[in-house]
Amino acid sequence: MNKRNQNLLLAGALGLAGAYVASKVVSQSSRSRAGAARNGGLVTAGVIDTAALAVDVLAPTFAKGVIVRRPKVVALAERLGLDARAVRRMQKLHDKYGDGPLMLPLPIRKQAVLLAPEHVRRVLDESPEPFSAASSEKRAALSHFEPKGALISCGRERAERRRFNEEVLEHERAVHHMVGKFLPTVDDEAGRMLAGARDQGELDWDSFNAGWTRMVRRVVFGDGAAGDQEISDLIIELRKTANWAFMHPKKTGMRERFLARIQAYLDRAEPGSLAAVAASVPKSPDTAANQQVPQWLFAFDAAGMATFRALALLAAHPEQAARARAELRSHPGIERQYLPFLRATVLESLRLWPTTPAILRQTTRDTDWGGDTMPAGTGVLVFTPFFHRDDRRMACANRFAPELWLKDDQVRDAQDRDWPLIPFSSGPVTCPARNLVLMLTSVMLGALIDAGADGRALQLLPQGRLDPARLPGTLDNYGLRFALR
């Protein structure tokens, strides 16, 4: 299928989905309660509000691409301010219905939307039972490239796969023990990016992303994989089909080739790579190690986006950029393994523009909400931008506020706060790579802002691209460009 047909198909599918939701929702109107229906626990949304939520919140989130982003839609979302609009819609729903959970009267699925911090905490803390991360739509999407991935596994298998991920990614440690190998790799790739930028006069997404994915392959598989563009292309192809979840047939042959290639790297276990760490930790027949690695490759993309957006934040905030440079000066060499301010900057990039805006759960049994019963099989949505950007509750909602993440010179864990700032989620399903990601992204960010070793610095193009007084709801990372001046 050529690109034009794909775009037409996308537009058609979205139109159909919208029409389907609207028609089904309207056909249910006689059964759903009009306006706010409060009964102490669950609250049912009215028909018009459900349709508005589908159009303003769900449609843009899914149209941008949940598994791999569609750059044109992301650019459109920034131009039309779609993410800011989604937050406003959620605020209106909260004003009207209160804390919920809000039940959507959809005929095709029992679906709840969370509006209160304590409900978010409960659902994330009580995952994966009774709030399973392996929701139907997530299973449909991720099984295109990792049918045995931890995130879509259950029971004993999930426990084993989670343990494997935690051990290899060193979930509990602020600094991964392979730091001595990883830091020079980041420096090396940052150096190449900057050399390219010096030649071209600017650093754009394509050059950044090429270096970033090389860095990821070296960290995950070892230097021997530096030039293996094919493995990165394979996962992108599989993720494109995954965006369509149930609606696209699986490319099983391609998936097998991809997983076999990963297995070959795991067997090789090049010293200094995550593959080598994977070889050193215990495994059982349930582990399916080669099916945990696709999640790493996939999720490192999000880390690249967060880094590039963080670079834009620093370029637009000279005072904070100066503080970041001072931090680099006071943490030379290997001491860069823990850069609190730069880590907080990446966390801010993720608060402002979360790369997982929809955290999804599905209940495995009936759950009680203030005397009301949410039935087994209900989908539960945490739409993180609503909490991250709620200007009714946070004065700095739309500004760059790295101090939110800093406490006594340490990066604060999202878990110790009342208000859910949860770019990496929280609770037993929280991202096990949070610390590894923050280490690699902060060091890459530091290397890029330190481009001015020869007196030059990266400047965001065009001037005034970001307004510090009101940061946009969407920041199109694909369109960001920096001049090296």
> Could you give the CA distance from residue 77 to residue 82 in angstroms, rounded to a whole number?
5
Residue type, 184: P
> Could you give the CA distance from residue 351 to residue 386 in angstroms, rounded to a whole number?
11
Nearer to ligand HEM, 141 or 151 (CB): 151
Contact flags string 26-65 toward ligand HEM, x per CB under 6 A? ----------------------------------------
Q: Is 300 in the site for ligand HEM (CB under 6 A)?
A: yes
Contacts (CB under 6 A) with ligand HEM, residues 244-283: none
Q: Is 112 in the site for ligand HEM (CB under 6 A)?
A: no
- The site for ligand HEM, by CB under 6 A, has a size of 26
Q: Is 231 in the site for ligand HEM (CB under 6 A)?
A: no
> Could you give the CA distance from residue 39 to residue 237 in angstroms, rounded to a whole number?
47
> Could you give the CA distance from residue 273 to residue 415 in angstroms, rounded to a whole number?
30
Among 359, 421, 448, 458, binds ligand HEM (CB under 6 A): 359
Binding piece for ligand HEM, criterion CB under 6 A, among 91-99, 114-122, 355-363, 469-477: 355-363
> Could you give the CA distance from residue 217 to residue 82 in angstroms, rounded to a whole number?
33
**How many other β-carbons are positioned within 10 Å of the β-carbon of residue 380?**
24
Q: Is 296 in the site for ligand HEM (CB under 6 A)?
A: yes
The DSSP secondary structure of 368-388, one letter per residue, reads EETTEEEPTT-EEEEEHHHHH
Among 380, 433, 457, 484, binds ligand HEM (CB under 6 A): 433
Q: Strands, DSSP E only, in 384-419?
A: 406-407, 410-411
Q: What are 106's two structure tokens?
A: 């959809």
Cβ(65)–Cβ(243) under 8 Å?
Answer: yes
Cβ(358)–Cβ(476) under 8 Å?
Answer: no
Among 93, 289, 429, 475, binds ligand HEM (CB under 6 A): 429
Contact flags string 134-173 toward ligand HEM, x per CB under 6 A? ----------------xx----------x--x---x----
Contacts (CB under 6 A) with ligand HEM, residues 79-108: none
C-alpha distances in angstroms, 439 versus 213, 271, 445?
16, 20, 10
Contact flags string 313-352 toward ligand HEM, x per CB under 6 A? -------------------------------------x--
> Could you give the CA distance from residue 464 to residue 271 in angstroms, rounded to a whole number?
45
> Could you give the CA distance from residue 469 to residue 316 in angstroms, rounded to a whole number?
11
Among 437, 449, 466, 480, binds ligand HEM (CB under 6 A): 437
Nearer to ligand HEM, 301 or 450 (CB): 301
At closest approach, how far in Å is the CB of 107 from ligand HEM? 26
Q: Is 425 in the site for ligand HEM (CB under 6 A)?
A: yes
Q: Is 477 in the site for ligand HEM (CB under 6 A)?
A: no
**How many other β-carbons are positioned within 10 Å of the β-carbon of residue 5?**
10
Nearer to ligand HEM, 135 or 207 (CB): 135
Cα-only R_g, the chain: 22
Among 140, 277, 299, 394, binds ligand HEM (CB under 6 A): 299
The DSSP secondary structure of 75-118, one letter per residue, reads HHHHHHTHHHHHHHHHHHHHHHHTT-PEEE--SS--EEE--SHH
Binding piece for ligand HEM, criterion CB under 6 A, among 99-107, 112-120, 296-304, 410-418: 296-304
Among 45, 133, 141, 339, binds ligand HEM (CB under 6 A): 133
Q: What are the residues whose beta carbons fall under 8 Å from the beta carbon of 264, sequence distance 6 or more?
A: none
Query: By the criterion CB under 6 A, which residues form the site for ligand HEM?
Result: 133, 150-151, 162, 165, 169, 295-296, 299-300, 302-303, 306, 350, 355-356, 359, 423-425, 429-433, 437
